[in-house]
Amino acid sequence: MHESVLLNESIDNLKLNNKSIIVDCTLGYAGHSSKILENIKDGYLYAFDQDDEAIKSSDKRLKNIGDNYEIIKSNFVNIEEELHKRNIYKVDGILYDLGVSSPQLDEDYRGFSFHKDARLDMRMDSNQKLDAYYVVNEYTEEQLIDIFYKYGEEKYAKSIARGIVNYRKDKKIETTLELVEIIKDNVPFKYKKEKHPARKVFQAIRIEVNDELNVFEKSLKSALKLLNVGGRICVITFHSLEDKKCKEIFNEVSKLDKALEKLPEVPDHLKKDFKLIGTFKPSKEELERNPRARSAKLRVIEREKEG
């Protein structure tokens, strides 16, 4: 069973009350959503996901708790548009739990895992056209180098990309484990012993396939506009690129200009609309229980006044 990361910390920081209107942008298998629904008996939950299997499984789980929720089958980049369709213009809390859920990693055929053999896929939304097979087999060497550096922070991006391009001259690269072997053949032996050599490349391809960073940035900026005064956004990230993007956006809307910081008192109209609440990491107990939480980080922001 998938265990939600930083569950208690995110639920506590959402400051739920009985009548809260909450948006879970990453429903997944309803770990966070279940807990939210238990705490908002007279409120309402809107949950976003694109994955048919996750939606089906979560709907069953949430029905056992209450009926005051709606699952919206859409990418969370459409948060503002989808909520406006439902005449919702302000909410009390928004949660993002970014990254791939354990069931997606565990389902061989989805092609997310570098431990299991499957067709190269990695689509969060199985109806979209772009998949990992296309990226690996059709992108130029320069394009592959670019995404491996940019989205994987992979120091052997050049040699891995060259290896992929040379291999596919003879045949298409069909499966995840085929790609893993090519990666292993194009990195130094010492590198293979440090961590799994395919980890960063798989991350990079997944981010490219699902346009994750751009989608997250657009969604988070929309989410900030939807927040009531006193409302909070909680963002759980699993790698430095997402975390950096979240930190930048949060700082932009909460940190005073350097010149204003020197004033003894800042006039209200010059104060920012948001304040940073904090950054949280999994406890030692959680890390022992769930090793997948090791890279997780939770950032929290609160709206202080209307813009």
**What are the average pLDDT values for consecutive 10-residue runs of the chain, which has 307 residues?**
86 98 96 98 96 93 98 97 98 91 60 90 90 98 98 97 98 97 96 91 96 96 98 96 97 87 78 96 95 93 93
pLDDT score at 217: 98
pLDDT at residue number 112: 86
Please report the pLDDT score of residue 266 as a whole number: 77
Between β-strands 21-24 and 44-49, what pairing exists: parallel, antiparallel or unpaired?
A: parallel
Angle at which helix 240-254 crosses helix 212-226, to 10 degrees, equals 30
The whole-number pLDDT of residue 184 equals 97
Q: Which residue has the tokens 């909460």?
A: 254
pLDDT recorded at residue 47: 98
pLDDT reported for residue 188: 96
pTM summary value = 0.90
Strands across the sheet containing 44-49: 69-73, 44-49, 21-24, 91-97, 227-237, 297-303, 274-280
Which fold is adopted by the domain 104-210? DNA polymerase; domain 1 (1.10.150)
What pLDDT is stored for residue 11 in this prediction? 98
Domain ranges for the chain: 7-97+212-303, 104-210
CATH 3.40.50.150, applies to 7-97+212-303? yes
Residue from 58, 40, 42, 62 nearest 50 by CA: 58
State residue 292's pLDDT score.
84
Q: What is the dihedral of CA 155, 157, 158, 161, to 10 degrees?
A: 160
> Is 144 within 8 Å of 164 (Cβ atoms)?
yes
Cα end-to-end distance, the chain, whole Å: 42
Rounded to the nearest 5°, which phi and psi values hold at 205?
A: -65, -40
Q: Which pLDDT score, from 0 to 100, does residue 108 have?
A: 66
